Structure 1
Amino acid sequence: MTTISGLLTRRADEEGSLMAYTFLDGSGAEPQTMTYRELDTTARHIAALLAPLRPGERVLVLTATQAGFVRRSSAASTPE
């Protein structure tokens, strides 16, 4: 069975330097980018912080930007 976390890790291993996301805020500011390796690393870190929680426990995700949301929501599918 293939998992989302497995797919992300494989992509990070094989093509980690490729851009996974580019975030534009509409103000003309410099775009924020995230590689597959950065996304995988961040997701694993946040997943480790969530690991002590039991299945079904609630978690509130607050972010100031869409980029922050993607970083944090990726951890939800990374069980390691």
Structure 2
Amino acid sequence: MNLLLFLTNYFFSYSLLLHVLVLVLVLVLVLVLVFVLVLVLVLVFVLVFVLVLVHVYVPVLVSVLVLVLVLVFVLVLVLVIVLV
């Protein structure tokens, strides 16, 4: 009977509940940290991907824009010369 009372007191004691609570809190913190780490890694990957795309496509876009501007300038010049 004393053993049963001791076990009951031990298993329902505050110290065990506190240990379980601390364990649950630590697990939640670890899960949150893992989630934040994965989120940061995904964001870094997306940022690097966007920067690589920008690095590859911006010179092409700038060159096309410059070409279009030069063509428009030449067309306007030709129109002005023809009309005058």
* Greater share of helix: 2
Q: Does the alignment reach a TM-score above 0.5?
A: no
TM-score (norm 2): 0.26
Q: RCO greater where, 1 or 2, for CA within 8 Å and sep 6 or more?
A: 1
Q: Give TM-score scaled by structure 1 length.
A: 0.27
> Could you say which structure has the larger radius of gyration?
2
Greater fraction strand: 1
